[in-house]
Chain A
Amino acid sequence: MSALLFNFLAVFIVACAAGVVLNRNAVASALCLLLSLVGVAGLFVQLDAFLLAALLVFVYAGAVVALFLFIIMLLDMQGGDRKPFTGLTLAAGTLAFLLLAGGVFSFAAHARLPATPAPAQAAGASLQNYAELLFTTYLLPVEVVGFLLLIAMLGVIVLSKKFEPELEPGAGSQKPDVRSQMSDAGNRKPEGSQEIPNHP
Chain B
Amino acid sequence: MFDFYFHLPLWIRMPAQGLAVILVLFPLAAACSMAERKICAWIQGRPGPNRTIPPWIAWVPVIAPILQHLGVFQLAADGGKFVFKEDPVPGHVNKFYFILSPILAMIPALTTVAIVPFGAYLSEGRLVPIMLANVDIGLLAVFAVSSLGVYSVILAGWASNSKYPFLGSVRASAQLISYELSMTLSVLPVFLWVNAPGGHGTLSLFDVVQSQSQPGFLGGLWFIVFMPLSAFIFLVALFAETNRQPFDMPESEADLVGGFHTEYGAFKWSLFFVAEYCHMIVGSGVFVLLFLGGWNPLPWLPLATVADWLGLAGIPLAMGVLGIVIFLGKVAAFIFFFMWVRWTLPRFRYDQVMKIGWQRLLPLAIANLIFYALAIAVIQK
Binding site for B on A (CB under 8 A): 27, 31, 34, 50-51, 54-55, 57-58, 61-63, 66-67, 69-70, 73-74, 126-128, 131, 177-179, 196-197, 199
Contact = CB atoms under 8 A, between A and B. Distances in A.
B243 interface: no
Given A50-B135, A70-B174, A196-B163, A126 B158 contact: no
A107 to B, nearest CB: 31
Nearest to B184: A58
Nearest to A69: B154
A113 B255 CA distance: 61
Contact of B150 (A57, A66, A73, A127): A66
Interface string B137-155: 1001101110110110011
B145 A57 contact: yes
Contacts, number: 89
A20 to B, nearest CB: 16
A168 B354 CA distance: 25
B50 interface: no
A127 B203 contact: yes
A196 B145 CA distance: 29
B147 A62 contact: yes
B186 to A, nearest CB: 15
A199 B94 CA distance: 7
Contact of A197 (B158, B174, B201): B158
B358 to A, nearest CB: 9
A55 B203 CA distance: 13
Contacts of A34: 151
A10 B173 CA distance: 30
A179 B170 CA distance: 10
B201 A70 contact: no
A179 B171 CA distance: 10
A58 B147 contact: yes
A54 B140 contact: yes
Interface of B: 94, 97, 135-137, 140-141, 143-145, 147-148, 150-151, 154-155, 158, 161-163, 166, 169-170, 173-174, 176-177, 180, 200-203, 351, 354
Top 9 nearest A-B pairs (CB, nearest first) are A62-B147, A128-B201, A58-B144, A57-B144, A70-B173, A54-B144, A127-B201, A54-B140, A199-B94
A62 B200 contact: no
B154 A66 contact: yes
B140 A58 contact: yes
29 contacts: A27-B97, A31-B151, A50-B135, A51-B137, A54-B137, A54-B140, A57-B144, A58-B143, A62-B144, A62-B147, A62-B150, A66-B147, A66-B151, A66-B173, A66-B176, A67-B173, A67-B177, A69-B151, A69-B158, A69-B173, A70-B154, A70-B170, A70-B174, A73-B166, A127-B137, A127-B202, A196-B161, A196-B163, A197-B161
Given A27-B158, A127-B203, A128-B200, A62 B137 contact: no
Contact of A199 (B136, B161, B166, B201): B161
A127 B199 CA distance: 11
Contacts of A27: 97, 158
A66 B151 CA distance: 7
B169, B177, B354 — most chain A CB neighbours (10 Å): B177
- Of the listed residues A27, A51, A58, A178, the one surrounded by the most CB atoms of chain B closer than 10 A to its CB is A58
B201 A73 contact: no
A67 B155 CA distance: 13
A128 B180 CA distance: 24
A3 to B, nearest CB: 17
Given A74-B170, A127-B136, A177 B354 contact: yes
A55 B144 contact: yes
A67 B154 CA distance: 11
A69 to B, nearest CB: 5
B232 to A, nearest CB: 23
A54 B147 CA distance: 11
Contacts of A69: 151, 154, 158, 173
Contacts of B176: 66
Nearest to B141: A54
Nearest to B199: A128
Given A69-B154, A74-B170, A197-B158, A62 B148 contact: yes
Nearest to B355: A177
B140 A51 contact: yes
Contacts of A58: 140, 143-144, 147
A195 to B, nearest CB: 9
Nearest to A130: B201
B174 A62 contact: no
A128 B198 CA distance: 11
Nearest to B181: A63
A128 B199 CA distance: 9
B282 to A, nearest CB: 16
A135 to B, nearest CB: 12
Contacts of A54: 137, 140-141, 143-144
Contacts of B151: 31, 34, 66, 69
Nearest to B174: A70
A63 B201 contact: no
Nearest to B162: A196
A197 B94 CA distance: 11
